[in-house]
Amino acid sequence: MMYQKPMLKEGSLKDQVIVVTGGGSGLGKAMSTYFLELGAHVVITSRNFEKLERAKIELEQKTGGKVLPVQCDVRNYAEVEAVLAATLKEFGKVDGLLNNAAGNFISPTERLSANAFDTVIDIVLKGSKNCTLAFGKHWIDYKQPKSTILNIVTTYAWTGSAYVVPSATAKAGVLAMTRSLAVEWAKYGIRTNAIAPGPFPTEGAWDRLLPGDLKDKFDMKNKVPVGRVGEHQELANLAAYLMSDFSAYINGEVITIDGGEWLKGAGEFNMLEDVPKEMWDMLEAMIRSKKK
Ligand code: HXC
């Protein structure tokens, strides 16, 4: 399938230095892999340094690129500043920030402790804010001609979603930050965009979000009009495009990549999808007869 293939031409991110939070696993690792294949140097961060070291070896062997693993809890501003310092020490510059690190779990909201709610808000919203602020200040101070911030939000950032309320609340904040800074920081050459992915199964997050047989009970592909879940490469293609100069005129945009999933949930009469053709014949006859 075409969408499983790399999209951009070779060298599209040549010598770009890109920091990917949560880059040691899941979708962050998939996007990092493609950035490396396109010629970028990538800094991957996570709280788990062993995971990062394993990812570094795997990614370097697979792509021939250069990966710098830096342990960081994005909730801690000093640790984020240390990532920036380590990046500049290793590569002398930084061109892109991908705010990908996230935390989430499903739960009825009334079952959450205040600390549980804070934990998700802190990772998602405060973490994205910490990274954005540290890297943005650097780019502005150093008068770097151009740089890019790419935020990973969700399709429920604008609709909200039951049972993931801390995540929905935090992602809505990240969305507002994306659009606000796209205007405010464009004069400094900083483009700010976001991607809202629908279901893209990963081993870690997916198993935590839908544990046990919930995965089979709520088969995500049934919610998607195109009839399948996302492939990591198609998300990586979009992320690489938004990181690259090919998207230089795109600023403040949130691109949804979900096969139409959230709109299927939104349209008032979308449930009519289940009506078979014969019933449509009958319904049409009934509606027309009413008109007469
Ligand atoms: C209720 C819970 C809980 C649960 C943790 N807590 N899990 N409460 N239900 N399932 C509570 C704890 O009891 C504690 O509160 C507080 O949350 C903090 O928990 P810790 O384990 O100390 O926090 P921490 O180690 O920082 O773990 C963070 C985490 C974890 C978010 C809880 O799940 C995590 O790190 N996940 C990995 C990242 C991840 O899931 N990424 C994928 C995001 S996907 P108390 O009061 O007891 O101290 C995404 C998009 C989804 O966001 C889109 C789908 C289409």
- Average pLDDT, consecutive stretches of 10 residues, N- to C-terminus, the chain (292 residues): 94 98 97 98 98 98 98 98 98 98 95 98 98 98 98 97 97 98 98 97 81 81 95 98 98 98 92 92 92 68
Question: How many whole angstroms separate alpha carbon 194 and alpha carbon 191?
Answer: 10
DSSP β-bridge partners for residue 21: 45
* CA distances in angstroms from 250 to 98, 179, 183, listed in the order given: 16, 12, 12
Ligand 1, pocket-test mutation among 21, 74, 105, 262, most atoms within 8 A of CB = 105
Q: What integer pLDDT is reported at residue 214 of this predicted model?
A: 80
Q: What integer pLDDT is reported at residue 292 of this predicted model?
A: 63
| Ligand 1, CB cutoff 6 Å, lining residues | 102-105, 107, 112-113, 115-116, 119-120, 154, 167, 198-199, 205, 208
Locate all alpha helices (DSSP H) within 38-164, ordered by sequence. Answer: 49-63, 77-91, 114-121, 127-141, 156-159
Residues across the chain: 292
Cβ(241)–Cβ(193) under 8 Å? no
Q: What integer pLDDT is reported at residue 205 of this predicted model?
A: 77
Q: What integer pLDDT is reported at residue 282 of this predicted model?
A: 94
Question: How many whole angstroms separate alpha carbon 128 and alpha carbon 263?
Answer: 26
Question: Which residue of the set 156, 188, 241, 249 is catalytic?
Answer: 156
Ligand 1, pocket-test mutation among 25, 72, 119, 219, most atoms within 8 A of CB = 119
* CA distances in angstroms from 291 to 125, 157, 282, 285, listed in the order given: 53, 42, 15, 10
Q: What integer pLDDT is reported at residue 111 of this predicted model?
A: 97
Measured in angstroms, how far is the CA atom of residue 227 from the centroid of ligand 1? 30
Q: Is 156 a catalytic residue?
A: yes
In CATH, which superfamily holds the domain spanning 2-291?
NAD(P)-binding Rossmann-like Domain (3.40.50.720)
HSE toward the beta carbon, residue 244, CA cutoff 13 A = 22
Question: How many whole angstroms separate alpha carbon 260 and alpha carbon 223?
Answer: 9
Question: How many whole angstroms separate alpha carbon 110 and alpha carbon 154?
Answer: 22
Measured in angstroms, how far is the CA atom of residue 6 from the centroid of ligand 1? 33
Would you list the domain boundaries of the chain? 2-291
Q: Which pairs count as long-range contacts for 204-213, CB under 8 Å and 24+ apart, including other chains?
A: 204/25, 204/26, 205/26, 205/102, 205/104, 208/104, 208/105, 209/104, 209/105, 209/106, 210/106
Atom 11 (ligand 1): residue with closest C-alpha?
116
Pairing mode of beta strands 17-21, 96-99: parallel
